[in-house]
Structure 1
Amino acid sequence: MKVSVIGLGYIGLPTALMMASHGVEVIGVDFNKNLVETLRGGHTTFQEEGLDELFKNALESGIEFSSEYKKADMYIVAVPTPYDKASKKIDATYVVSAIKEVMKICDKGAIVVIESTISPGTIDRFIRPVIEENNFKIGEDIHIAHAPERIIPGNMIYELKHNSRTIGADSKEIAEQIKEVYVSFCQGNIVTTDIRTAEMTKVVENTFRDINIAFANELAKICRQDNMDVHEIIRIANMHPRVNILQPGPGVGGHCISVDPWFLVGDYPGLTNLIHQARKINDSMPAFVLGRIATIMKEHDIKDVSRVGLYGLTYKEDVDDVRESPTLQLLECMQRHLAQGIKVFDPMVTTKLVDNQYDDFDVFKREVDLVVIMVGHSHLKQHINELKDKVILDTRCVCPFEKVYRL
């Protein structure tokens, strides 16, 4: 079966490479011509452990890249699914656009698998009507399915192979055909179900984690109020066999946990009070960190914000992904209050994204008195002793020094 993977970003590219490396005939498609040319030139487009080796294997197996849609037996759609920040509802524009392009060139009986995370009912509300408006008969001319991705930057290659997967389809026959393709590389359990269940399951997984993190962040605020060690409290509480509290942090980023819960809030506003509150708590953390910075500056008589440095721009450690980054949220909060001059360094980010962004760690540390650890990169752990004479606010609990500020 020839497979076309549409959208060659953080999800689509590893998926396409993994399939090609395991014997599937694959063509990767993206409207970004520069991205396609980079891939054709033999270079990957983001940093990820094991990605370059996988890319090499896929090239040797004959993977193709194109900025134009090509005929295939199966189309896997892995395009962005943002949400409308006013209504909190999913913005399905990119998915709908991809489906329209597929219909222009696909043969009868083609299978379209949406890997992009979508809200429950998205296929019923947006995809089916578009297909029917174009005089395609669903189940005959074209088959629709949802197989939500389950990987995270920093561990993509391993998780592609070992995580369980869900395939939602209108018929068991189509689900099994799709499963045969995924079985080529996926060693995890592959569950088949209906489409709406698959849609809901993925959103629920990320929402659960968001609520858990919000609980940890709220505990951090409570403990700060009464001068208690939230990390010690969580460590001891987690010794209970039925307790598993995640760690607090400076906010929640990435394109999953910080986005997917809003889909439910947007579609079920009267029924998602807990989910909505969790989102508000996690979104409040960059401002909370900013308040901690102000308190520590006053305590150490640091009057100039330019003597403060933020270590980390990405949303998590050891990746170059800055989507919904807590650091960027913090900087935006500062700009709203007309505060400028704070310095930023991230060893994983090679392009300039913000003002006062440094590409040299030695220069960065020399010019700041207060270092705020926003991300616990491996680089930091290797160089942490170089910061022993600095005032440190550690939002990730990675600094081993006895005298360090926490959330």
Structure 2
Amino acid sequence: MFASRKKQVIGIDVNSHAVDTINSGNIHIVEPDLDIVVRAAVTQKYLRASLIPEASDAFLIAVPTPFKDDKQPDLSYIEAACKAIAPVLQKGNVLVLESTSPVGATKQMAQWIAELRPDLSLPSGVDSTEQDLFIAHCPERVLPGHVMRELVENDRVIGGLSKACAEKAKALYQIFVEGECVLTDCDTAEMAKLTENAFRDVNIAFANELSIICDELGINVWELIAIANRHPRVNILQPGPGVGGHCIAVDPWFIVSRTPELASLIATARKVNDGKPEWVLDKVNAALVEVANVKGVAPSQLSIACLGLAFKPDIDDLRESPALQITKTLSERHTGQILAVEPNIHELPAKLSAGNIRLVDEYTAVKEADIVLLLVDHKQFKSMPLQLSDTQRLVDTRGVWN
């Protein structure tokens, strides 16, 4: 976006493949229209990539912020980024943390920078006007598959270490952002992003729990939700096999980690959504037993088609994907053939290296499989007619064919 506004941009990454791909004018992820903008920016020499940071006017840090096994946030990538850019920081630079982070992460980043560059002064308080570096937090708020539009149109929350920091960061983003830039302090900006994703997670948990209850009662949950949503003040989300991605499946734990004794609803929603994949596996096991009895064979002789590996429709992002987790677990528990289908990737990820998994197209999978497991409602699946034989069974976690 900055490069498309004719600003000189250097993209820094530890992944040499990503760097080489960008420098060739191509992209290494699936995102509509991104390839066109990148190709133009590189060709016009406004965008280039490197493994080593260089002196600049502004630095945006957008690195992973996962959680550890104990659900505590892992800020090591932010710390590594600080160490990488510290040698080239100069007076007057703007430094923005875009990574979704627990409350206090921006202040921690500032502390790391202060230790690495004691010669550069930071704000002494929210009203400070004397500082060498301007530090702020501005979380991304885009939907994969619509990133190019939403980066421009969406409002941005900008939290500064001081008011002057927030104003400096606002001027930076207004180079391309047409939405409103809402200014606040960095703690509130961090909590805003966590709140947005926790809100979504809680509402998805309601839908997922409802789907389990409806299955027990013999009720079609998608029909039920469509009827209930006719109420003018009801908007139930759609259930699925769980919750994935680098935000909704992770961010609520950042709230829980800071206030575990208070965040009971948020923690429960996480447990409901994290538990949904095992429920799906139980449904597949039941289908395997049923088909095995019909065919008179052992369940291990049957094949399973897993339609979709990404964490949401029509993208190639596999991060925290429940579909990927379910497919992996099936390959470990089921000795029969697993037919994996993901239209947006060209080879199986390393996590699915088991010998009983094949990456195939959706038509081959449906034709050959005994159990058809729909995990992601990609457009390719929604547009294909489904005709199963008497000995095939469908487990549809997204309501595409129900």
Q: TM-score, normalised on structure 1?
A: 0.88
* Mapped partners of 2:106, 2:168: distance in 1: 20
Residue of 80, 86, 111 corresponding to 1:129: 111
Match of 1:5 in 2: none
* Mapped partners of 1:214, 1:340: distance in 2: 32
Residues 1:372 and 2:373 are matched in the alignment: yes
Match of 1:91 in 2: 74
Letter matched to residue 397 of structure 1: G
- Secondary structure at 2:2 match in 1: helix
Residues 1:63 and 2:35 are matched in the alignment: no
Number of matched pairs = 381
Match of 1:13 in 2: none
Match of 2:383 in 1: 382
* Mapped partners of 2:59, 2:388: distance in 1: 50
Residue of 123, 134, 156 corresponding to 1:165: 156
* Mapped partners of 1:339, 1:372: distance in 2: 16
Aligned 1:35-184 pairs, distance under 5 A: 35-59=18-42, 60=44, 62-86=46-70, 88-124=71-107, 126-134=108-116, 135=118, 136-139=120-123, 140-184=131-175
Match of 1:349 in 2: 345
| 8 Å contact kept, 1:23–1:61 | no
1:341 Cα deviation after fit: 3.5
Single out whichever of 254-263 and 20-29 deviates more from structure 2.
20-29
Letter matched to residue 304 of structure 1: P
* Mapped partners of 1:359, 1:336: distance in 2: 19
Summarize the Cα distance change of 1:40–1:344 in structure 2 as closer, same or farther, 3 Å threshold: same
Summarize the Cα distance change of 1:181–1:129 in structure 2 as closer, same or farther, 3 Å threshold: closer
Q: Deviations over 1:350-401 (max 9, x none)?
A: 12222313234443233212211101111112323465875322111122xx
| 5+ long unaligned stretches in structure 1 | 1-17
Q: Deviations over 1:261-286 (max 9, x none)?
A: 11112221111111111111101111
Match of 2:126 in 1: none
- Secondary structure at 1:352 match in 2: coil
Letter matched to residue 232 of structure 1: E
Single out whichever of 175-184 and 247-256 deviates more from structure 2.
175-184
* Mapped partners of 2:389, 2:170: distance in 1: 53
Letter matched to residue 229 of structure 2: N
Aligned 1:141-290 pairs, distance under 5 A: 141-290=132-281
* Mapped partners of 1:74, 1:171: distance in 2: 17
Single out whichever of 104-113 and 227-236 deviates more from structure 2.
227-236
Residues 1:396 and 2:398 are matched in the alignment: yes
1:48 Cα deviation after fit: 1.0
| 8 Å contact kept, 2:54–2:88 | yes
Match of 1:19 in 2: 2
* Mapped partners of 2:65, 2:388: distance in 1: 40
Letter matched to residue 285 of structure 2: A
Residue of 278, 294, 297 corresponding to 2:288: 297
Single out whichever of 281-290 and 301-310 deviates more from structure 2.
301-310
* Mapped partners of 1:336, 1:266: distance in 2: 32
1:340 Cα deviation after fit: 5.6
* Mapped partners of 1:310, 1:40: distance in 2: 35
Q: Deviations over 1:227-255 (max 9, x none)?
A: 11222222222222222111110011110
Instruction: Indicate the percent of aligned positions where both proteins have the same amino acid.
Output: 40
* Mapped partners of 1:215, 1:357: distance in 2: 34
* Mapped partners of 1:62, 1:335: distance in 2: 46
* Mapped partners of 1:120, 1:241: distance in 2: 35
- Secondary structure at 1:315 match in 2: coil
The Cα RMSD (Å) is: 1.9
| 5+ long unaligned stretches in structure 2 | 124-130
Match of 2:16 in 1: 33
Letter matched to residue 110 of structure 2: R
Q: Deviations over 1:32-63 (max 9, x none)?
A: 22211121122211111111111123222521
| 8 Å contact kept, 1:370–1:391 | yes
Q: TM-score, normalised on structure 2?
A: 0.89
- Secondary structure at 2:49 match in 1: strand
- Secondary structure at 1:383 match in 2: coil
Summarize the Cα distance change of 1:335–1:267 in structure 2 as closer, same or farther, 3 Å threshold: farther
Aligned 1:318-329 pairs, distance under 5 A: 318-329=314-325
Letter matched to residue 76 of structure 1: L
* Mapped partners of 1:123, 1:340: distance in 2: 49
Summarize the Cα distance change of 1:22–1:256 in structure 2 as closer, same or farther, 3 Å threshold: same
* Mapped partners of 1:339, 1:281: distance in 2: 28
Letter matched to residue 147 of structure 2: M
* Mapped partners of 1:282, 1:244: distance in 2: 19
| 8 Å contact kept, 2:32–2:145 | yes
